Structure 1
C-alpha cells in the first residue's frame, strides 16, 4: 500500500471509528404536506439560519419552518480534526460551486478556477469548517455603521457576540473580561493540542514585537493561540446550539433534503412563500409573515436571481422574468486571500507526523479521553495579527498569519499538491512527508471584489463564483509584504533553536527567473500560491437607500420586496478582519431580534 493510500485509509478509518465511538446527532425532522402555511419560512440551517430559526421559535405563537437542502450530518463531523471536505470527495455532504478562472491569482494551479466547497447538511458549512472563532476588529463594525447602517456599530454587535458565547478559556489579559461571556449556546475553547512548534509560537511572536493578546477584544495586534467553536473537544455548530433545542418546541419544524428553487411573490411583490423540491416532487410552503433567506453568500443571491430579483439585464439574458431590478444582487463578493507554500523543515520526529495524528494512539486518546491531535483542526494552532502596509492606521492589523504545525506536503502531497501544476509538485517532491511547519498569511481587509452569477435558469445548476482576488493593486503589494513578514516570522531564532527549523531556500521553478526573495520573486510567488480562505460574503450588501448597489436595508429587508429578508454572511457591506463564522452567528442573532422588534416581541 502506498503512502498516499495509507493516509487516505487512515483518514477514512478515523471517520468510520468516529461513527462507532460517537453518537451522531440526529435532528428531529418532519415531512410537510404539499401546501403548508406557517408564519415564517427559513431557507437554510447553516450558521445563520439555525440561529434565526431557534430564536424565532422562542415566540410560542409563531410557527417556523426550516427548509434544508442537505440531510443529517455524519458522526465524524463532531471530531475537530476531520474538517476538510477534500478528505471525503464527491460527498453528499457538500455543495460544489463553479469558480471562474482567475487572472491575478492561483497561477500555480493545474486548472485556474475549479470548484469551491460548501457544506450541504444540517449546520451548513459550520459542520465542515476549521471552527475558528474570530469576531474581527472593532473598526470593521464602525465602518459598517459609517456606511449608513445604523445599529451595526461595534458597541451594539458586541452584545450579540457575548449573547451567543460560552467562553471556556482564561481571561488573559485580565482587561479582556468586558468583551467575553459564558453561558451562551456556542462553546468557545482555545486549541487544546499543542505540538512542539506550537509551544514556542508565542515566543516567536515576541521576537517580532508581538505581545500575546485575546484577538476577540479591542486589542488585535499581537499573537495568540486560536479559539475554536468546540465544547469538551467536540465541534459545536449553531444547529447543535440553536436549532436542536428549538426543535423540542412544537412550533418549529425542520424538513431536510428540500431544495428551495423559487420565492413565490404576489402581484404587489410581496413574498408569500417558496417552491421547493423534496423527493423529486415540487412542493410549496406559504408564509403568513416572512420568508427569510439564510442559504449563504452563494445560494441566497442565486435564489433571489432565480426569482427575478437582481440585475435586470443579466436575468433577461437567461430568460428569467425581472420582477425587481436590483443591480447589487451577486455583486460585492468579497473573500480573504491566503498564500500557501511558505515553509520550514524541522528535526525529524520532533513533531507528530500526519500518521501519528490519525494513528491508533491518537484515536484512542480522542475517543476515550478527548485529548490528543484529533481535538484540533489539522495542523492549526497559532495566529499573528500585524500591520505591514498601513502606516496611517498602525494599531489596526492588515494581515493575519496562521502558523500551521505541519510542512505543506506533510500529507505526502495527497491533498496539498494534487491541484497544483507538475512543476510545483516536482519542486516539493523531496520534502514529501517531512516534519516542518508553514506560515500562511491572509489578507484580512481586501479591496478586490468579485461576483456571483447564475450559470443558467436551472435551479439545480450551482452559482458561478469569480472572487477576482488581487485585482486591486493595493491588495497585491500588501500580500508581497505579508509574504516577506511571514518569512521573517518563521525565521525567528526560537524556531531554529528549539526545533532546528530551516527554510526551504530553493526558488520555485516558475519564479526562478527572478532573484530569490526579491520583491519581483515574491510577486511571482504571491500570484502563484494565492487562493481563497473560503470566507464568501457580501453578495447581498446591506446599505442605505442612497447606495445603488445595496440589496438589503439595515433591518435586512430586501429592497422592493415585502416580507422578504436575507440574514446570513451575504449581507456584510465589507468583509470582517478574520474568519467569518462567528460574525455569521452574530448576524443571525441580531437579525432575529430585528424581526422580533418589528412585530413588537421585544
Structure 2
C-alpha cells in the first residue's frame, strides 16, 4: 500500500475513532442575505479571526460578521493523537498548497515540491497543528517595538498572552506572574509521555539545562511542552472565543464563504467584501471596518486580488493596482526543522502505533480522558539552547524537539513514502524499532521567501516559496545545532534507562563525506531539513519609513481606510517559537486597537 492510500485509510480510521470517543463541535451558523450590512466584517475564523470576532462582539451595539471559507471541523480534530489524519490528501477541509521546486533543502524527498496544509474549517490551521503553545522570547517583541512598532514590546504583549490564557497545570511561585487564570484558552503541560519523555528533564541537566517554564522570561533550559488542551481534547481559538459567544445576537458566523475581493470605493476606503457562497457571488458591507485574518498565505493573496500589492506583479496578471504596496507577500519567514538524528532503545517501551491507539489507550481515553491519545504524535519535551550567539547567552537560537518516535517506527506505512528510495533503504533495518529523535529547529532564520499569485483567479492557490536555507548562516547554525542534538541524545540518562544507541551510519547521499564532519552535516541538512509551515511576515507591520511595510503598528493597511490585517502575516520578524500562541495574542491586541480607535476603551 502506498503512503497516500495508507494516510487516507488512517484518516477514515481516525474519523471512526473520533465518532466513538468524542462529540463533534457544531458551531451555530447563519446565512446572510446578499448585500447585508454590518459594522465589522472579519475574514477567516482561524487562530486570530475567531479571537477578533469574539472580542469585537463584546460591544453590544456592534454587529460583527465572520466569514469562513470552510465548514465545520471534523470530529478527529478534537483528539490530539489523531493529528496525523490531517495529512490526508483527499481532505476537503484542508488547502494543500504546493511550493515551487526547492533547491536548498528537503533534497532527500521523493519530490522537492513541498506541500503546505492550511486548515479550511472553523478554527483554521489551529485545528490541525501540533498544538505547541509557546509565546517566543521577550526579545522578539522588544525587537518588534525597536523596529518602529510601538505597543508591541514584551511588557505590553505579555498582558494579552495572560488575558487569553486559562493555565491549568501547577505553577511555581516564580512562574505564576507570567500566566493567566480564567481566560478563554485552556493551556496545560503535556500530561502523558512515553519513557523517553519522562527522562527528558534529567537528560537535559547532564548538559547544564535546568527545567524551565518557557512561557516566562527564562528561556534557556529543558521543558515539558504546553498545549491548548481541556479534558483531553484540543482547544482551538474558535472553541475558546467563538463557540461561547455565538449566542450573542450581534455575532454571526457564515461558513463555506470564500472571500474573493475586498471592495474599495473611489477614495480607497474598504466598504465591504465580495465572496462566494453556495456557488453564488454575494456581497457584505461594513459600516466601520473590514478585518482580514486569512493567514500568512491567504491574506496577501486576498490583498493582491483586490489590487493592493506590488504594482509590477499585479500588472503582469492584469489586476488593476489600487494601492502599490511592494511589501505584500514579501518578508516570508518560516522555521526550519531537521530530521534524521535518531537513537534506538529497548523494545516495547516507546510509542508504537499499537501503544498509542491500542485497546488500553482507547479505554483509558474513553473512561478518563487520559493517556497517549491526549497528546499529538511524538510530542512531549524540548530544549531551548544557544549555539551560535555567545554575546547573548540567555537568548535561544535553537529549539531541539524530543520526538518519542523513529522514522519508520510505524513500519513505514505512513512516514516513509515521502522519501526517495535511497532514504527508504536507509531506514529498512530499523523499521518497527522503538526509539527517539532529536530534531533541532532554527528559531531565527535569516532566509526570506515570498508569497505570490498564480493568477487572478481567486480559486487558484497562492504560490508559496519559503526559500529556506538560502542564507548560508542558517546552514552553519544548523551544523552547530546538529552536534548539540547528538550530545543531548547521547545523555547517560537515556543510555542507562532505555538502552539508547545512536544510529551511527551516514545517509547514502552523504556517505562520501567523513561521518559527522561539518561537511557531512551540511549534506545531511540539505537533505533532511524541512519547513514547519509557520508562515509569517508576509504583510509585515512597520513604520511609514519602511518601504516594505504593509500595515501600521495599529494594523491598518497603508493607503486604504477602514482595512486592517490581524494574523501571522503582520509579524515584522518571526517569533522564536511555534507561532500559534503569538497569533492569538495578535488577535487579542488587534481587537483592543479597534476598540480604542472607536472609543470603546
TM-score, scaled to structure 2: 0.98
Distance 1:273 1:11, change over 3 A: closer
Equivalent residues of 2:10, 2:85 under 8 A apart: no
Q: 1:375 maps to what in 2?
A: 374
Does residue 317 of structure 1 match 2:316? yes
1:238 CA drift (Å): 0.7
1:110 CA drift (Å): 1.3
Q: 1:208 maps to what in 2?
A: 207
Q: 1:156 maps to what in 2?
A: 156
Q: 1:577 maps to what in 2?
A: 576
Does residue 344 of structure 1 match 2:346? no
State the SS of the aligned residue for 1:42: strand
- 1:364-416 CA-to-partner distances (Å, cap 9, x unmatched) read 21122111110101111001000011111111000000000111221222332
Q: 1:461 maps to what in 2?
A: 460
Distance 1:33 1:481, change over 3 A: same
Following the alignment from structure 1 to structure 2, what is the Cα–Cα distance between the partners of residues 41 and 404? 41
Q: 2:138 maps to what in 1?
A: 138
Equivalent residues of 1:401, 1:442 under 8 A apart: yes
Contiguous gaps of at least 5 residues in structure 1: none
Q: 1:296 maps to what in 2?
A: 295
Equivalent residues of 2:3, 2:417 under 8 A apart: no
Equivalent residues of 1:556, 1:591 under 8 A apart: yes
Equivalent residues of 2:11, 2:86 under 8 A apart: no
Q: 2:256 maps to what in 1?
A: 257
Equivalent residues of 2:45, 2:68 under 8 A apart: yes
Following the alignment from structure 2 to structure 1, what is the Cα–Cα distance between the partners of residues 11 and 93? 16
How is 1:8-27 mapped onto 2 (pairs within 5 angstroms)?
12-27=12-27
Following the alignment from structure 2 to structure 1, what is the Cα–Cα distance between the partners of residues 456 and 351? 49
Equivalent residues of 1:133, 1:579 under 8 A apart: yes
Following the alignment from structure 1 to structure 2, what is the Cα–Cα distance between the partners of residues 98 and 8? 19
Q: After TM superposition, where is structure 1 displaced by more than 6 Å over at least 4 residues in a row?
A: 1-8
State the SS of the aligned residue for 1:82: helix
Distance 1:422 1:54, change over 3 A: same
- 1:513-534 CA-to-partner distances (Å, cap 9, x unmatched) read 1001111000000010010111
Distance 1:454 1:11, change over 3 A: closer
Equivalent residues of 2:264, 2:272 under 8 A apart: yes
Q: 1:94 maps to what in 2?
A: 94
Following the alignment from structure 1 to structure 2, what is the Cα–Cα distance between the partners of residues 94 and 11? 13
Equivalent residues of 1:10, 1:355 under 8 A apart: no
State the SS of the aligned residue for 2:296: helix
1:82 CA drift (Å): 1.4
Equivalent residues of 1:4, 1:414 under 8 A apart: no
Following the alignment from structure 1 to structure 2, what is the Cα–Cα distance between the partners of residues 87 and 455? 23
1:87 CA drift (Å): 4.3
Q: 2:511 maps to what in 1?
A: 512
Following the alignment from structure 2 to structure 1, what is the Cα–Cα distance between the partners of residues 600 and 416? 53
Following the alignment from structure 1 to structure 2, what is the Cα–Cα distance between the partners of residues 2 and 236? 32
1:6 CA drift (Å): 8.3
TM-score, scaled to structure 1: 0.98
1:359 CA drift (Å): 1.6
Q: 2:55 maps to what in 1?
A: 55
Does residue 166 of structure 1 match 2:166? yes
Q: 1:422 maps to what in 2?
A: 421
1:21 CA drift (Å): 2.8
Equivalent residues of 1:7, 1:355 under 8 A apart: no
1:112 CA drift (Å): 0.8
State the SS of the aligned residue for 1:41: strand
Q: 2:80 maps to what in 1?
A: 80
Following the alignment from structure 1 to structure 2, what is the Cα–Cα distance between the partners of residues 255 and 6? 34
1:89 CA drift (Å): 2.6
Equivalent residues of 2:337, 2:530 under 8 A apart: yes
Following the alignment from structure 2 to structure 1, what is the Cα–Cα distance between the partners of residues 87 and 304? 33
Equivalent residues of 2:168, 2:186 under 8 A apart: yes
Aligned residues: 601
Does residue 406 of structure 1 match 2:405? yes
Equivalent residues of 2:8, 2:89 under 8 A apart: no
Does residue 501 of structure 1 match 2:500? yes
- 1:120-173 CA-to-partner distances (Å, cap 9, x unmatched) read 10000010011111000100000000000000000000000000000111213x
Contiguous gaps of at least 5 residues in structure 2: none
- In angstroms, what is the RMSD of aligned CA positions? 1.5
Q: 1:107 maps to what in 2?
A: 107
Following the alignment from structure 1 to structure 2, what is the Cα–Cα distance between the partners of residues 19 and 309? 44
